[in-house]
Amino acid sequence: MQVQQGRVFIDRLAYQADLLAALTDVCKKENIRLGYFSVIGAVTCANLGYYDQQNQEYTDCVQMDKKLEIASCVGNISLKDGDIFVHAHATLADHDGKCYAGHLMPGTKIFAAEYVVHELTGVEMHREYDSETGLSLWLRSKEF
């Protein structure tokens, strides 16, 4: 479906804030109900998940008390249970350039983080439980 570009927000996130929570706060504060974003910077510790397709649950694949670069963090914003929901994936690099990647979970603390958030308009995307995958996927949309 076709959407329109909405507002664009750029700023940095607070030192030692939780990366996922801070991104969610930006979206809620600005009422961004659909969109996408990118973040670069660094973290002081990380918690990335891996979705176990067999058992249909997230496992903590990378839980590290380690200073890492946010080589890339991208994701989208949509609605889940009527609330603004941020889905983010991150690739984090250590001092050797070795990378760890996965689904961004609570518990990843910011050292420095610069973001650009792009709002999309014209459609609402709603996440609902999908029995095939066990995930909350975009199963319903509403144009406006």
- When the beta carbons of 13 and 104 are compared against Zn ion, the nearer one is 104
Find the residue with minimal CB distance to Zn ion. 103
Closest separation between CB of residue 4 and Zn ion, Å? 25
- When the beta carbons of 20 and 68 are compared against Zn ion, the nearer one is 20
- Using the structure block, give the residue that is written with the tokens 């058992």: 55
- When the beta carbons of 90 and 117 are compared against Zn ion, the nearer one is 90
Token pair belonging to 3: 């959407």
Whole-number Å distance between alpha carbons of 36 and 23: 11
List residues binding Zn ion (CB under 5 A): 103
Closest separation between CB of residue 49 and Zn ion, Å? 7
